[in-house]
Amino acid sequence: MKISNIKIEHEIITADFKSEENFMFINKCHEIYRNGDRIKLKNNYIITEPRITILSDNLFLLVDLEFENKGSQNALIFDNEGNFKKSFFVDAPLNIISTGKRIIMSYSGSQLEIGSRYGNAQIVIFDFDGNCLFEYNTLEKSNEYIKFLENKSLVVKNETTIYFMPFIGNGTKEFPVIELDVLNYSINFLFYVLDEVKSDKYYFTAFSKKNKDWYFFENFDKPLETNKASWSRIFRLSSNKILELFFSSPEISAIPKGFPDGKFSTLTENSNFNYFEI
């Protein structure tokens, strides 16, 4: 497995990654970089608590998680020259990915308690004009619908399809992997991860797929077989449904993000950016 580390002068607070040649981050000084080049936003836009997402070779999305009210236009699209293109309201998403001309966001179950606009929808699809095209809970009466507490990870399959992996809170019937078509909004249940391995002892926070094998990332806030403060592991679920430990490290201690083809990224405790390629 290849592991790369991106270190910069100032700590990274948010990042998105497509490849080693296509990545973006914002440092603690709120400076935006794409592939090593700094992007200065026109008109001095202030983003208090930013999350960054690559939309295309020339566009990116900034979401401000600290906004004043439900009417705030807290999602802003810019080009690589820093020109403002579009703004719209998205509330406070937990996960964000983009594929084709669609932006997909998932929301924490805890947002229901604070009256979140999209918290009850769980997964929402927007277009690049900011139109809300789909809310997952509209499928509630269909046979394919699976109710969950919180989605843990979104992964692009291709330009028209994503995978997602929610947490249900139901023992071994846990962490279902589901396909969602972002154009016609059909869903296809694939499997429950813990049901496949006949165990309820794992708690996965990200995943990826490469060829026929699935990879699941698990990270801990408490010591595991070490006196360090955290520990992370990657498991491989092979085509014959055997879950095996693929990689472990006490050094990787941040919430990960999964990408297609066996790739993961994390921000470490000291806010460096790690990239894993299986």
Are 132 and 124 in contact, with CB atoms under 8 Å apart? yes
* C-alpha–C-alpha distance, residues 57 and 210, integer Å: 24
Tens-digit pLDDT profile for residues 29-57: 889 999 989 999 998 788 889 999 999 99
pLDDT in tens, the chain (278 residues): 777 777 667 788 888 988 878 899 998 888 999 998 999 999 878 888 999 999 999 999 999 988 766 667 899 999 999 999 999 999 889 899 999 999 999 987 655 555 577 878 889 999 999 999 999 988 887 777 888 888 989 999 999 999 999 988 877 678 999 999 999 999 999 999 988 888 788 889 999 999 999 999 987 655 445 455 567 888 999 877 788 888 787 666 567 889 999 998 887 666 677 888 88
Query: 239, exposed or middle or buried, with CB in 10 Å at 0-12, 13-18, 19+?
Result: exposed
| pLDDT number for residue 79 | 97
Q: Are 175 and 164 in contact (CB under 8 A)?
A: no
What phi, psi does 43 have (nearest 5°)?
65, 15
- Which among 267, 257, 273 is positioned nearest to 208, based on CA atoms? 257
Could you tell me if 151 and 94 are in contact, meaning their C-beta atoms sit under 8 angstroms apart?
yes
Q: Please tell me whether residue 113 adopts helix, strand or coil conformation.
A: helix
**What is the 3-state composition of the chain as percent helix, strand, coil, each rounded to the nearest 5?**
5, 45, 45
User: Rounded to two decimals, what is the model's pTM?
Assistant: 0.90
Tally of CB atoms within 10 A around 249: 17
The count of other CB atoms within 10 Å of the CB of residue 185 is 14
